[in-house]
Homo-oligomer: A and B are copies of this chain.
């Protein structure tokens, strides 16, 4: 069989066959006197094997190993690959979920602007918040907002105390021991009084402090630049804890 036919039957291009020949994955005798590649039935069988593994996203190098070494543990390779595929499937499912939500949001966004036109409803979203929501999730933003509002007088007092303490050291290096020790108070306070924060969520919250104008303004009431300082300290805190 000539390359052309083989390619058609296998659903690949001639270039692919050339390439496989070139890298020694599927070496083929050129018997045609004119140098044409002549694929025997055996070659085609081997090609099918190759395509089988390729369809499972094996890199060609590994396929070569599999084909060359008779003691290669095919079974283990296959089981490993199955695992990878399952992970990939999960990843795709997550992406589909995300993309679905985003599409809904996008659609809802259009409705919103219609609503706005007719009801004079002003939705005070700034781009930063939108982005923050996309990246860190509505959960983080909303919980941060709402839980603060639900606080009792006592905890408000405690919170303000921490803010004041942080403000008093806001010109120091956020990475210094003092800063880190104080930001840890903030971390503990949030976990005890507000909601459970993972290290990552805590870092995300820190980023929010400079991303979201409202956070920044609120925080900076205790001292100019406090939001920036806290943000950096919180991110550093997360780094240390990992």
A128 interface hit (Cβ, 8 Å): yes
When the two chains form their complex, are residues B95 and A85 in contact, meaning their CB atoms are under 8 A apart? yes
Known: A96-B89, A103-B79, A107-B75. A45 touches B9 (CB 8 A): no
Q: A61 at the A/B interface (Cβ < 8 Å)?
A: no
One of A30-38, A50-58, A182-190 at the interface: A50-58
Inter-chain contact A45/B102, CB cutoff 8 Å: no
CA gap between A52 and B82 in the complex, in Å: 27
What are 17 residue pairs bridging A and B, where the CB atoms are less than 8 Å apart in the complex?
Answer: A8-B239, A9-B207, A41-B127, A41-B211, A44-B207, A45-B127, A45-B211, A48-B131, A48-B135, A52-B135, A75-B103, A82-B100, A82-B103, A85-B95, A85-B99, A88-B92, A89-B93
Interface presence of A224 (CB below 8 A): no
- Interface pair B95/A92, CB less than 8 Å apart: no
User: Which A53-68 residues have a C-beta within 8 angstroms of B?
Assistant: 55-57
- A107 to B98 CA separation, bound complex (whole angstroms): 38
Asked if B102 and A78 make an inter-chain contact with CB atoms under 8 angstroms apart, the answer reads yes
Query: Does A218 touch B at the CB level, under 8 Å?
Result: no
Query: Are the CB atoms of B55 and A98 closer together than 8 Å?
Result: yes
Total identical chains? 2
Q: How far is the CB of A96 from chain B (nearest CB, A)?
A: 5
Q: Do A130 and B207 have beta carbons less than 8 Å apart?
A: no
Cα A72 to Cα B62 with chains together (Å): 41
Residue ID in chain B nearest A127 by CB atoms: B41
User: Residues 146-175 of chain A: 1 if any B CB is under 8 Å from the residue's CB, otherwise 0?
Assistant: 000000000000000000000000000000
Q: Which residue of B lies closest to A239 (CB)?
A: B8
Cβ-based interface call for A203 (8 A):
yes
Question: CA–CA, A131 to B67, complex, Å?
Answer: 13
Instruction: Indicate if A235 sits at the interface (CB-CB under 8 A).
Output: yes
B-contact bits for A1-13, CB 8 A (1 contact / 0 none): 0000100110000
